[in-house]
Amino acid sequence: MATIGKILIAGCAVSAALWITYVGATDAPGAMPGDDAMTCEAIGTELAPYAQQMMPNIQAMGNSQLQLYGQARQKYDERKLEHEAMAPLASAGALDPTSASKRAYAMAEMAQSAKERSEDETFANSPLAQQNRGQSEQVAAQAQQMQSNARLQRLMQLAQQKHCDKKR
């Protein structure tokens, strides 16, 4: 049994060594001479044009998301007040032996729910929401296109290997 474990460990070690050799090879897709000597600053400099290429679409999407958030937050505040206004009716329903106020509260709650569903649907189909969805799709398509760029992928790999994200 110990022999199988040693063989397994040796196999894993050989696989890891081969993988590291492949990853570090200068003939890896997108690799250029001198990549291994690059500093995080040099990697960042070479990555900058890619980020600048995406920035206008990301900013536009971010702006529309902020507007959507502002509208949603305002709607939340309005609904909170509406729900708080219904609280006395709910309390009255608990004390009413005839259940008339309980029925009134249930009807008011159903009407409120229907109103909120309609508002949510209108909000989801608003021009701003549609614009944001289009912008999100555009950013995703651009990012997907960049994934096929071997040099960009190599730079990202180098940045990760050198722990550049932790050296700020």
What digits encode the pLDDT tens for the residues 6-51?
Answer: 443 433 433 433 344 444 445 678 899 999 999 999 999 999 999 9
For residue 41 the two structure tokens come to: 């600053």
- CB atoms closer than 10 angstroms to residue 52: 9
For residue 79 the two structure tokens come to: 């609904």
pTM of the entire predicted model: 0.65
CB-based contacts of 130, cutoff 8 Å, min separation 6: none
Q: What percent of the chain has pLDDT over 70?
A: 83
Segment 131-149 shows an average pLDDT of 94
Q: Look at residue 53 and tell me whether its pLDDT is greater than 80.
A: yes
